[in-house]
Amino acid sequence: MKRGLYVTLPIFAITLIAVFMLFLAPHPALAAFGPFNPLPEQIVPKCNLTLRSGDQITGLGTICTFCNFLELIQNILNYIWWLITPIVIVIALIWGGALMFISSTQGNVTQAQRGKKIIFNTLIGFVLVFGAWLIVDTIIKILGGKMAVSVDGVRDGFGPWNKITCVAPVVSTTLPPPLPPPIPPEVITTTGSAAICRAIRSNSRIDLSEPGDCKEYLSGEKVGAKRTIDDCASSQSPIVCQAGCKDKAVCQREPSITVNPRMLGAIDSVGQTTSFKVTSITTGAHLPLSNHYTGNAVDVIPPQRTTDGYEGLRQKFQSAGGSALCEAKSGKTYQNCTNSFPASETISHIHINF
């Protein structure tokens, strides 16, 4: 009986000390392991960390890689081996030691044998768990290879035992300066169109002298193509007339209408080599749904008002990207001023849609 006490009492005392170190000390991990603490601060690796300065996101601290996945597995194994396994072993030793202690006081041989078996199996289990942990740990190192570890910036092998040191890709924490606010399309169109209109106004080949046949609502003055180009050159909204406006004060400024910049470009490009007169853009008496009133049509006439003169001018605007038609005085339009134009009609002007 005394011999049994000599064996069980030390085991019981050791287990009580282990329980105190693991559960009752202020810092269990540090108390249990001292300066060598294999347990990470957290199981999940710290990666893809968003860096902020106030409400501003400044970048990422690290980027998660395959190495961090291996680090996660390594952390789980370390927690199992260094925290869970000791607790299980301590509980098993307490149980086995308690059975031996009780049997020594009661003289129960069966309980003593049972306690010894529990302690023996616990030690065997300890060896097996340690072996399995070591094997898995080595496999993780092999899978990670030199990619996953680094010592002083040099990737040179498996690194520290039971630990993976990941090298995070370099990520700049300084965001590039913010882009300037985009320029609204209407500002770009207005600015570009104003420059083109100034070029049209100064081109001696382009005649803008047509007075127009409709009056402005406010001033009562007749308005025509020159007024449209002048307003465009000063980045103002065009004056737009209505159907049947002849000698009637129904033309007024329309902020929602913009003169088509492609059309202005075509007028300018054709005027570099050819002389013609612009008779109407957004003004004049046209059909109710005419493209003139949306800023997408222009009427022109050549200096020599012959069939060939009209057709030559029509073809130039057609080549400049417009849909150029030959319009008769009756208001009907034809595909060209020669083949499709009937002899019974008289040509009035070239109408170009954009």
**pLDDT given at position 29:** 44
Side chain identity, residue 4: G
Q: How far apart are CA 257 and CA 241, in angstroms?
A: 11
**pLDDT given at position 54:** 65
Nearest-5° angle of CA 78, CA 79, CA 81?
65
**pLDDT given at position 249:** 60
**pLDDT given at position 334:** 93
Per the document, the length of the chain is 354
| 197, 264 contact by CB (below 8 A) | yes
Q: What is the pLDDT along the chain (354 residues), one digit of tens a residue?
A: 445 544 555 555 555 555 554 444 444 444 444 445 667 677 777 776 666 666 665 555 666 777 777 778 777 877 777 777 778 888 888 888 787 777 767 777 777 788 788 888 888 888 887 787 778 777 776 766 544 444 444 444 455 556 666 665 555 555 556 666 654 544 444 557 888 999 999 999 999 988 777 888 777 788 889 999 999 999 888 999 887 776 666 788 888 888 999 999 999 999 999 999 999 999 888 888 889 989 999 999 999 899 999 999 999 999 999 999 999 998 899 999 998 889 899 999 999 999
**pLDDT given at position 50:** 61
Domain boundaries, the chain: 2-147, 185-353
| 270, 314 contact by CB (below 8 A) | no
Q: How far apart are CA 169 and CA 185, in angstroms?
A: 40
